[in-house]
Amino acid sequence: MSTPEVIVLRDAEQLAEAIGDRLVTAIVEAQVDGRHAHVCLTGGHIGIACLAALHAAPSRDSIDWQALHVWWGDDRYLPADDPERNDTQAAAALLDHVPVDPAKVHRMPSSDSGLDVDAAAADYARELKAEARSEDHADLPSFDVCLLGLGPDAHVASLFPQLPGVHETVRTVVGVHGSPKPPPLRISLTLPALNASREIWLLVAGADKADAVRLALSDAGPVQVPGAGARGRDRTIALLDEAAASALPPDLRRLASP
């Protein structure tokens, strides 16, 4: 797995804009020679703010939106179009405003889908497998970029410390029961699925997450610190604001910050 790089921006607003710009560049580069790009989105304040920033950026028109697959690392198991769902927020911030192919927007099943949460997770795993290519060598497409937030407890996606999902080594998607963060039912990609990504970007803002950032960029075990287990195959980047980076060792910040 790749060694994390650290990029520190002044504040959350500058961070969101920088992520949006980087995401445009990454998608365009992935679409060279007509290739379809696969991007995995996240929720949270910065995860949605960077999508809004991308929507506002003139460079968004350089993306071939018809050749983009959109996935999610996790979502709340709530009814379709619930305002707390990650896909609902992403649609309002970006996806409803660009000519993306609806068939390539892969939303996680909702609680009114007629499936229980575990069956819904299995359904999403089948959808991922159906889009896997021979070069992926896995039961899911290798995401060109996977965006992940980080909680104060160092959770990523809906993989919380010590809960069963963080122990998963075989399945690509799990139903989450008893989430310590409401709502209690969620669907989440597992660490093996996330780590099949070419690049993982950890997006973090705020002083309340500074200790979690320090742990996630350490050699901590993923059962206690799920963020420490999220690493892209080719590259891992921690994109932070100054407050989120405040607990990092000075040498790490000096070497990696612009």
Maximum Cα–Cα distance for the chain, whole Å?
A: 52
What pTM, to 2 d.p., does this model score?
0.96
Domain-embedded: residue 145: no
Contact 187, 74 (CB under 8 A): yes
Residue 90 within a domain: yes
Does the pLDDT value for residue 254 go beyond 70?
no
Encode pLDDT of 8-19 as tens digits. Answer: 999 999 999 999
pLDDT tens-digit readout, 43-88: 999 999 999 999 999 999 999 999 999 999 999 999 999 999 999 9
Judge whether residue 250 has pLDDT over 80: no
Residue 153 included in any domain: no
Residue 148 and residue 230: Cα distance in Å, rounded?
A: 9
Query: Domain total for the chain?
Result: 1
19 falls within a domain: yes
In a domain, 146, yes or no: no
* Per-residue buried b or exposed e for 64-92, using 16+ beta carbons within 10 Å of the residue's own CB: ebebbbbbbbbbbbbeeebeebbbbbbbe
Is position 152 within any domain? Answer: no
Percent above pLDDT 90 for the chain:
92
Confirm whether 74 is domain-assigned: yes
Task: Return the CATH number at 189.
Answer: 3.40.50.1360
Residue 218 lies in a domain: yes
Q: What is the pLDDT of residues 164-205, one digit of tens each?
A: 999 999 999 999 999 999 999 999 999 999 999 999 999 999
* d(C-alpha 91, C-alpha 100), whole Å: 11
Owning domain of residue 226:
5-140+158-252
Measured in degrees and rounded to the nearest 5, phi and psi for residue 6 equal -125, 130
Question: Would you state the pLDDT for residue 134?
Answer: 85
